[in-house]
Amino acid sequence: MTTQNSILMLGDSLVEWGDWETLLPDYNVLNRGVAGEDVEGLSVRLADEVLSAGAVQYILIMAGTNNLLMGNLFFPAIFRTMLARLRQLCPDATSTVNSILPMDTTGLAGDTIDRVNLELQEITEEADCSFLDMKAAYAARCLPITLPCFMEDGVHLSTRGYQVWAEEISRHLSSLKETHEA
Domain ranges of the chain: 3-181
Report domain 3-181's class.
Answer: alpha beta
Is-contact 37 66, C-beta < 8 A?
A: yes
- Work out the mean pLDDT of the chain and round it to a whole number: 92
104 pLDDT higher than 90: no
Which contacts of 133-138 are long-range, i.e. CB under 8 A and separated by 24 or more positions? 133/99, 134/98, 134/99, 134/101, 134/102, 134/164, 134/165, 134/168, 135/99, 135/102, 137/164, 137/165, 137/167, 137/168, 138/101, 138/102, 138/164
User: Of all residues in the chain, what percent carry a pLDDT higher than 70?
Assistant: 94
Return the bridge partners of 131, or none: 97
- Higher-pLDDT residue of 142 and 64 is 64
127 pLDDT higher than 90: yes
137 pLDDT higher than 70: yes
